[in-house]
Structures are given as C-alpha cells and as structure tokens.
Amino acid sequence: LITGESIPIKKIAGDYIYSGTYVVSGSLRARVDKVGADNYIQQLQSKSKEYRRPKSQIYAKLNYLFKIISIIVILIGFVVLIEKGIMEDAFSSWEHFVNNIGQIAGSLISMIPSGMYLLASTSLAVGTIALTKKNVLVRDLYSTETLARVDTLCIDKTGTITDGSMSINKIEVIDNKRFPKGKIEACISSILFATQDDNFTAKALEDYLGRKEIFRCKNYIPFDSSIKYTAATLEDVGTIIYGAYGFIDLINDKLIKGKIENYSKHGFRVLVVGYSNKDIKNDKIPNKITPIALIIIQDRIRNKAKETINWFIKNNVNIKVISGDNPLTVSNIAEQVGIVNADRYISLEGMELDEVKKIVENYNVFGRVTPEQKEVIIKTLRENKHNVAMFGDGVNDILAMKSADVSISVKSGCRAARDIASLVLTNNDFESLPEIVSQGRRVINNLQRTCSLFLTKTIFSISLNIFFILYSIITLNKLNQPVTWPFLTNNFYAWEIITIGIAAFLLALEPNNEKLEGNFLLNIFKKSIPNGLIISITIMALFIYTYSTKGLDSIDDSITISVYFISITSFFVLMQTCYKYNFYRILILIGSALTMSLMFIISLYSKFNLLEIYLLKDSSYIITLIVLLAISFIAMLIVFVLTTFYKNIKKIFKGDKI
C-alpha cells in the first residue's frame, strides 16, 4: 500500500511494518504502536482534507485584468459624469438626463470587454464535455488549462507505466544443445494447456507462448502457493518443472545462482526451468533437477505507455518517475519506455528531506521514496519555477498530489487520491493525458487569440475616452459646442456582436494543439494594443479635423463615418486573428462579412436602424472614409508583419537561415 512493491522485502529486527503487510516466508513477532486515527494511513488521508486547489493562470490574470479595467472605467466614468454635468447641464432636468444617458452609457460600456469571462468559462466547459467523452472526469474546470502549461510530469511506475500485471521479458537458455529454446517453449506451452493454471505468471506465459498441446501430458502438478512451482511429465520429453528458485532441488545450483541474483537486483522476477528424465510419482517431482533455462519476468508495460511518454518528451515535458519500488526496477522500466536519463537513478531510502531537495533536479528516476519525500520533490520543483503535474492512485501519493499544480488519478485508485485529484481517468488509462493537454492548449491558444478581439475594443474605447476628456479641457471656451463622448451603444453593435461576439465564440471552439508560447496577457496585449491605438488615433484625427476646420457639416456626419470605419476595421482585426487560414476560419470570415453587410442593410433600408447611421451620399464623405480605411489598414498590416514574423525578420538582418 505504501511502496507498491511487486517483490518481497526482507525485514530485520527493529524495522517498521504497516497494516496490510503480508508475511510471505518465515515468521515474526510485532508490537502495535498506533491504531485508529494515529495510524500512518489515517494521518496521510487526514492531510488531504487540508488541500486547496491552486488557481489557474487564466483565472488569475483575467481577474487582474478586470480589476485594472474596472478602476479605469470608474475613474473615466466619474470624469465623464462631471463633464456632462458642467458642459451640457445634463442633470438640470429629467429631459436633459435622458438625452445624455445614452452617450454616458455608450462611453462606459464600450470600455468593458463584455463576454470575455463568459467566453473563457464556455471554452473550458466545452473542453470538459469533450474530455468526458474520452473517459476523463474533470473535477476542476481550470485543471485542463493548468495541465497544458505543465513542464514536469511526476508519475509512479505501478499503475501508470505498468498495469500491475506481469509479462515475460525473455527466456534465457542454459543447455542449448540438449534443450534448445524452441523445445523449452513448446514444453511450457504444453504444460499450460494441461494444467489450465490461471495465475498472473501463467497468464504472462500464455501471452508469450500460448497454450498448445505440442507434447501430450502424462501427469502434472498444478501451481500451488505452498510449493511455488508447476510440473508435468510429457511424452517423449520427461518431466519439466518451472517455479521459484529455492523451491526446486537443483543440480549445479551455483551455475545459475549468480545470474538469478543479478536479475533480482535489477528488479526482475526469475523462474527456474528444470528437467528430469524421471516421471512424477505420487504428486511429487523427482529429486536432482537439472536447470535448463531461466524465465525472466517483469511488470507489464502498458500498450501505449511508450507512445504517451514520447509525446510528452516531444512537447518539452520532463518525466520524473517517483516510486517506492526498487530503483533498479524503476530504472529498467523507465528506460524501456524512453524516459530521458532513465539509467541515472537514485534510492531515497533513509535520506533526510533536506538532502532530497538538493538532488531533485539531478535525477529523473527515484526509488524507495516515502510519501513525505514525494511531497518534498514536488514542492522543490515548484519552488524552482516548474509547473508540476502529479499522477497518483494511492494513499502514499496524497501529499505529493496536494502539493502539485495539478493532480491526476484513476478510477481504480483509492478514494482519498480520487477526492484530491483535479482530473480522474475513468478508464484507468495513462494514455488519456495527451488528449487532456490538447484540450488545455485549445483553450489557452484560442483564448489568447480571441481575447485580443475584446481588448482591441477596450484599448480603443479607453484611449478615445481619454482623448475626448482632454480635448474638451484644452478647447474649453474655444468651440461653440462642447466636446464630449459622441457615440451611442448602438454604434458598436457590428463590432461587438459580429466580429467579437459570434466570431470569438466560434474561434474559441476550434481544435488547436499548438505549443504554448509566452505569457498569456503579454500575448493578448501584443496584438490588441497596436490595433486599438491605430483605430482610436484615426478617429481622433477625424474629430480634430471636424472640430478645428468644420470640414464636415456636423458631428453627426463624423459619427456616421466613424461607425462605418470602426465596423470595417474590426473586420481587419478579425482577419489578423484568423491568420494561418484554414477552411473553418475562412468560413468564419465569410460569415462575419455577410452578417455585417446584412446589419448595415437593415440599419440603412429599414425602420430598425440598429447602428444609428445613415447612407453616405456625399462623395467627400466616401473619400474621407476610404482614406481613413487605407491608412489604418496599412498601419495594421505593418504592425502585424513585424509582430508575427519578428523572429524571422531578426534572423534575416543577422544573416541567419530562417
């Protein structure tokens, strides 16, 4: 229960044993020191109740972002209210208040990235539903995102890499002349057919050799735990016995003793295959058995364990195996599935916790690890700025699981491990992990891309609000009319509903397994700040021109041109967001263009003027709009090329190959 050992451990006077321990040979007398709540297992389980799920990066950063935006909105809103009250006497009567409340609301609402939180939750929920179909129970909505950021995955050997059953590593022939390998295999297969043994060893032999009656059996002794061997007398062969070393009376015992000890040190179980020309009589095997082969048995490696491990390694995730087993056994299994530096292993038996901290980064395979040492390994990795996932299924894993960034268990694991896990694999299959990471990547990559759509508008609105506030102060008493926020909420419907709302939702659902790069917020702002500022500066220039030269007949003309301009440039931003075009993204672009066109048609040619605009008929207004669109498109294109292909451009200037 504590170590997961697959082979017996020798105990001497003074050693500790725990409840659940089996005595497989010999005898002992033990003193019970602790019972009930003081029992070691109970203490481990009680510590799981102290567990607090860590917050995800997306959750923390979106919260931080909204706090900053909220402060800015409140401050600007307060200034706008004062400005409206002083310059336009907005609160002198109910009629004045109603006339100005639309612009005040438009000013404040335009700065709020409404829907971004909902989009994040919806994306995670969609990922959770998809994983449920893959036999993964998600107990923490943000755990898929956290797992996608992991750079170190800590796993146990038993139940993760191996499935808890046995498999044959090889059969080593000792007397190849008299008993070649093929004949030995035929004899064992014939014995399996005759005895119909169904224990773990028999199943492993059956998988390796099959059950066939190649030699007819005259008499046999099925496996019994008290004698530790199976035997059969076969026609034209003699008596063949295979079982545990020490339970068969062997000739030339020294010939194989060294080999068995060597295999045992490396964590293998060894069965001796012996031969006698005498028959079985009275359910007893003959004396003086000649050893003819060794059957080397190991823990069965899961079918796709190597493929899963390789997937993580290719995706820059380091794998550390933390096991209570013999470190040689763990190393051997880890090496077979391709874990990096699996040949370098260490036993933590008797090692102080402070010493464990010092060697955590130096090894990927740890054996003889106690629950407290597992916890120290995880905590040390996190202190060293690693994002750590812990895969565990036993009580001995609880301390480590609660210390990890994200914890994973299996349905067959103990209840305490399942209760503390963020993710539970209901099919008990380690190979589900890449699918979970893929869902997490989909969420993060798509949110990084789509959140830039929301924040482009937020940056635009904040900067434009600040412009109108400052411009009204600068031009106070110089203009015949007050300079305040001119837009209504309706003016942004095309931007908010089509190129942000619908498009962002559809893009967030797209499959995306690209590797995560950079900081979540920095990646968003890298795309949203330039575009938001380009759009707002262009609008600023338009209104400065209107106010200073009166080149347009009225502010309403500037507002209408701005609505056309903002709606079309929002489509430019969507085109950038959809870069690396595929059929799905092109479909979204076409659908967005058609929907936006429909909204303009309804606004211009029906009673439902959704956007509060009119049809531009004056050629000078149309030319002004085209010039503004051309300038902004060129500016956005330059910024997009520089930010998207920065690394390649840098290499070109250095003369490096791309």
Domains and CATH numbers, the chain: 114-126+439-654 (no CATH), 136-161+303-428 (3.40.50.1000), 164-301 (3.40.1110.10)
Phi-psi region of 650 (alpha: psi -120 to 50; beta: other; left: phi over 0): alpha
Q: What is the pLDDT of residue 1?
A: 45
By the 8 A CB rule, do 631 and 538 touch? yes
User: How close are the terminal C-alpha atoms of the chain, in Å?
Assistant: 54
- Confidence check: pLDDT of 479 > 70: no
Q: What is the pLDDT of residue 230?
A: 93
Q: How does pLDDT run across 214-225, given as a tens digit for each residue?
A: 999 999 999 887
Distance CA 227, CA 225 (A): 6
By the 8 A CB rule, do 353 and 373 touch? yes
- What is the Cβ-side half-sphere exposure of residue 192, based on CA atoms within 13 angstroms? 22
Report which of residues 602 and 143 the model is more confident about.
Answer: 602
What number of residues does the chain have? 658
The arithmetic mean of pLDDT across residues 329-345, rounded, is 89
Mean pLDDT over each residue of the chain, to the nearest integer? 85
Q: What is the pLDDT of residue 506?
A: 93
Strand partners, 425: 136, 410
Q: How does pLDDT run across 76-89, given as a tens digit for each residue?
A: 888 877 777 666 66
How many angstroms separate the Cα of 629 from the Cα of each of 89, 164, 500, 544, 636? 36, 66, 19, 17, 10
**Quick one: what percent of the chain has pLDDT higher than 90?**
38
Q: What is the pLDDT of residue 294?
A: 95
Q: What is the pLDDT of residue 99?
A: 67
Reported confidence tier of residue 226, pLDDT bands at 50, 70, 90: confident
Q: How does pLDDT run across 355-409, given as a tens digit for each residue?
A: 999 999 999 999 889 888 999 999 999 999 999 999 988 878 888 998 999 999 9
Q: How does pLDDT run across 257-294, given as a tens digit for each residue?
A: 888 888 877 778 899 999 999 999 988 999 889 999 99
Instruction: Provide the pairing of β-strand 406-410 with 388-391.
Output: parallel
DSSP secondary-structure letter at 402? H
Reported confidence tier of residue 53, pLDDT bands at 50, 70, 90: low
The arithmetic mean of pLDDT across residues 489-511, rounded, is 91
Q: How does pLDDT run across 411-458, given as a tens digit for each residue?
A: 888 887 888 888 999 988 888 888 888 888 888 888 888 888 999 999
Rounded-to-5 percentages of helix, strand, coil across the chain: 55, 15, 35
